[in-house]
Amino acid sequence: MNLLVCGVGGQGVLLFSDILAQLALTAGLDVKKSEVHGMAQRGGSVTSHIRWGKKIHSPLIEEGTADIIVAFELLEAVRYLHFLAPAGWLIYDPLTIAPLPVQLGLVEQIAPQKLVKRIQNRIQKSLSVRAFDTACTLGNPRVQNTVMLGAVSRLLEFPDDLYCQTIKQLVKPQFVEANILAFRRGQELNPISR
């Protein structure tokens, strides 16, 4: 399994990938993970490559070979589409966060409808998951990543209790309950598909 996660700094991309990597390791699989978060604290792009299987030799996913891309932000989803395998899934939050050049008024923001159209023109299988909005309804926008984890779990073959066990293992005790609730809510979402 090749799974690429992308978003911007502060969205929980790294915790999301840590949970999935630990989960696969606990399930007895060979796991490799890599992450890039150069300007993450300034709202920059953050990515993580996670690969698992019987034997994995490299943590990096080659372009055109990702089985699943999980994008926490719409522009980031478009930015990494070239990594997706022809039969792969894109699971994305339609949330848009203006990049720094847009915030500074140097360039115009691309309309979200145009970005969604690009996605629909380039790939066959996508799910739109309003993870950030759902996290806000739970009273904690910081659990966007575990809402998304719940939605992604529908495409993976790990048992539910392993997700909860791993969340308990990697999340600070005071935030475990909120994250498990967010994970369950993500599983219940009925995302738009095509």
pLDDT digits (tens, 9 = 90+) for 165-177: 999 999 999 999 9
Question: Which pTM does this prediction carry?
Answer: 0.92
Residue type, 37: H
Please say whether the beta carbons of 124 and 69 come within 8 A: no
Determine whether 23 is exposed, middle or buried from the number of CB atoms within 10 Å of its CB (0-12, 13-18, 19+): buried
Least confident of 41-45, 127-131, 156-160: 41-45
pLDDT digits (tens, 9 = 90+) for 117-137: 999 999 989 999 999 999 999
Q: Is the pLDDT of residue 39 over 70?
A: no
